[in-house]
Amino acid sequence: MRIKGKKHRFQAVSGLASFSFLSWLTVAAILLLWFLVTAAGWVSAFVLPSPANLWSEFQVLVANGYAGKTLSEHILASLFRTFTGLGLGIALGVPLGLLMGYSRIAHAILGPIFSFLRPIPPIAFIPLMILYFGIGEFSKVALIFLAALYYVVLNSSAGVRTVPQDLLRAGLNLGLSRAKLFSKVVFWAALPHIMTGIKTATAISWAIVVAAELIAAQAGLGFMVMDATTFFRVPNVYLGIIIIGLIGVALETVTVAIDRKLLHWMGR
Amino acid sequence: MKNSTDAPGASRKVKISLAGVGRVFQPTSKRSSPVVALKGVNGEVFEEEIVGLLGPSGCGKTTLLNLIAGFDRQDEGEIIVAGKKVERPGPDRMVVFQFPALFAWLTVWENVVFGPKERGENQKEYEPRARSLLESVGLKGREHDYPYQLSGGMKQRVQLARALLNQPEVLLMDEPFGALDSQTRSQMQELLHDVWALYHPTILLVTHDAEEALFLCHRIYVMDCQGEIRETIHVPFPFPRKFDLIGSTDFAHLKYTLLSALRAEEEKPDCHKQVGEKTQEGGAI
């Protein structure tokens, strides 16, 4: 049986490798299509710059920066807002979610707030955040914090509430106190859900920081895209979008790797 | 280690004593009515005895086991295990669950030593015992595996070893082999007897399988649909019992008697009454 388990994993990994070849093929096809469309002149170079043109614009951007700030300053500005808001959201969201899942009283008290927030997209709070906290760093970090908090709390509390009853009974049966039952059984059994919350919150945070910067910021990738649009600097719009996308993919890769590492015992 | 292999005599200590145990589940909605799960259950399990609790599904077998385990409280009567009134769950009454309640994030070894380790017991004392227990249930060499790497039968072996390491007064087994395929089930039944021959645990075994009860138990309590114990059957076959036993005429005859009693019970109109039990039980740990 052990051999079978190992074999399954091996197959999954090798299977993934052969499919990732297909993914690279997609990327290559899109680049090729882009090249052909622009080389043939089917669309105006103003609307869609050619790959070569964009590459040279990228080098200019790296060398000169944008709107008085270097490219890395823009990237770091966005990343700083994301990680500050996300970090605070996780730090508060996990304990709060666990509490809501464990205590019916806490669930009853906090439940309505989260039920109300459920249908509201986080970016709908951008105007209020600006009204409350101005257009500085704090309003953006606060917005990301709220969005991250929401996803982490919701998943963590669901994780606790779906712990199988027999697992709790097994813990009590083995002589665990209520406190130890929580730290040794409930937390671990809820960890897959907690990690889902963290992964979702990370992806959402990155999307929201860009949205927040579109509206009010003096730095950041969202600011760059918005500002370049205003001044018809189309290559910079494309470059901003591509960098946002690539960083998003990188964040996803990192969170998935952490998830795999922490939850290796699920045998996925 | 004792050499006795036969059914315990009257001189043995009483490990589980049930006196007038009753349990009524209150309705979960306005439309349903209270369900009497157990009514005036009396009985005892002697030291080193394997006693089966057999009955049609929904007759209250698992309810009784949960009461003895301390997961639930009875409305009437008294449950005494090894001289102590049952009030809460504890390692003196270890449960082997039907669906293995193993901690998926811990290895086989960590699962087995979990109880004594978390209670801060002496590592030098329980670790050698854990090693020999793992060997007797056939898990030597699998200590570092995680539960997802184990088959259903293997998981039940881990549960058995984990339970026995706590040196419980009684072992409470709830349909422990019910979710296994018939081949594995019969292997596990023999394994349970091998383990019993080594450690002589007192076992209360809940099952709906007459053949399993006859093969494994010294004595069988047959429950009826009213949540009462209807009769007690002494199983005369000597230990250690081997697989061949189930082919013998005596075994077949006793099995026929038992199955007839169960069938008669199943056909009564008020059987299978406890549809609402699961939902209410869900609340209490």
B166 in reach of chain A (CB within 8 A)? yes
Q: How confident is the model at residue B278 (pLDDT cuts 50, 70, 90)?
A: very low
Q: How confident is the model at residue B273 (pLDDT cuts 50, 70, 90)?
A: low
C-alpha distance from B162 to closest chain A C-alpha (Å): 9
Which chain B residue lies closest to A180 (C-alpha atoms)? B118
Q: How many residues does chain A have?
A: 268
Q: Copy the structure tokens of residue A221.
A: 């990738």
Q: Sort residue A206 into left (φ over 0), alpha (ψ -120 to 50) or beta.
A: alpha
Distance CA A171, CA A184 (A): 8
Token pair 């901003």: residue: A240
Average pLDDT over residues B108-135: 96
Residue A69: pLDDT over 80? yes
A1 in reach of chain B (CB within 8 A)? yes
Which chain A residue lies closest to B166 (C-alpha atoms)? A174
Which chain A residue lies closest to B148 (C-alpha atoms)? A267
User: CA-CA distances (angstroms) from residue A62 to A56, A225, A232, A260, B13?
Assistant: 10, 15, 19, 35, 85
User: CA-CA distances (angstroms) from residue A259 to A87, A149, A189, A262, A265?
Assistant: 16, 18, 14, 5, 11
Q: How confident is the model at residue A92 (pLDDT cuts 50, 70, 90)?
A: very high
Residue A79: pLDDT over 50? yes
Residues of A in contact with B143 (CB under 8 A): none
Mutate to test the interface with B, among A9, A168, A174 (most CBs of B within 10 A): A174
Token pair 């045998």: residue: A267
Q: Sort residue A44 into left (φ over 0), alpha (ψ -120 to 50) or beta.
A: beta
Asked if A170 lies within 8 A of B97 by C-beta distance, the reply is yes
Q: What integer pLDDT is reported at residue A171 of this predicted model?
A: 97
A3 in reach of chain B (CB within 8 A)? no
B119 in reach of chain A (CB within 8 A)? yes
- Burial (CB count <10 Å: 0-12, 13-18, 19+), residue B237: middle
Asked if B146 lies within 8 A of A173 by C-beta distance, the reply is no
β-sheet bridge partners, residue B43: B18
Q: What is the ipTM of this complex?
A: 0.89
Show which of residues 173-192 on chain A sit within 8 Å of chain B, judged by CB atoms. 173-176, 180, 184-185, 188-189, 191
DSSP run (H or E) holding B183: helix B182-199
Rg (CA), chain A: 23
Residues of B in contact with A169 (CB under 8 A): 69, 71, 89, 95, 97, 101, 285
C-alpha distance from B231 to closest chain A C-alpha (Å): 30
Q: Please, are residues B115 and B158 in contact by the beta-carbon 8 Å criterion?
A: no
Mutate to test the interface with A, among B65, B72, B118 (most CBs of A within 10 A): B118
A168 in reach of chain B (CB within 8 A)? yes
* DSSP secondary structure letter of residue A186: I
Distance CA A219, CA A33 (A): 33
Arithmetic mean of pLDDT over chain A: 89
Q: How many residues does chain B have?
A: 285
Residues of B in contact with A175 (CB under 8 A): 90-91, 115, 118-119, 166
A249 in reach of chain B (CB within 8 A)? no
The predicted model scores a pTM of: 0.85
Asked if A172 lies within 8 A of B71 by C-beta distance, the reply is yes
User: Which of the residue ranges A46-60, B101-115, B264-278 has the most confident prediction, judged by mean pLDDT?
Assistant: B101-115
Instruction: Using the Cα atoms of residue A70, residue A72, residue A75 and residue A77 in order, give the sign of their dihedral.
Output: negative
C-alpha distance from A265 to closest chain B C-alpha (Å): 5
Rg (CA), chain B: 19
Q: What are B161-182's pLDDT values in tens digits? A: 999 999 999 999 999 998 899 8
Average pLDDT over residues B80-98: 95
Q: Which of A5, A173, A188 sits opposite B69 (nearest CB)?
A: A173
Q: How confident is the model at residue A17 (pLDDT cuts 50, 70, 90)?
A: low
Distance CA B225, CA B223 (A): 7
Q: Please, are residues A78 and A212 in contact by the beta-carbon 8 Å criterion?
A: no
Asked if B101 lies within 8 A of A1 by C-beta distance, the reply is no
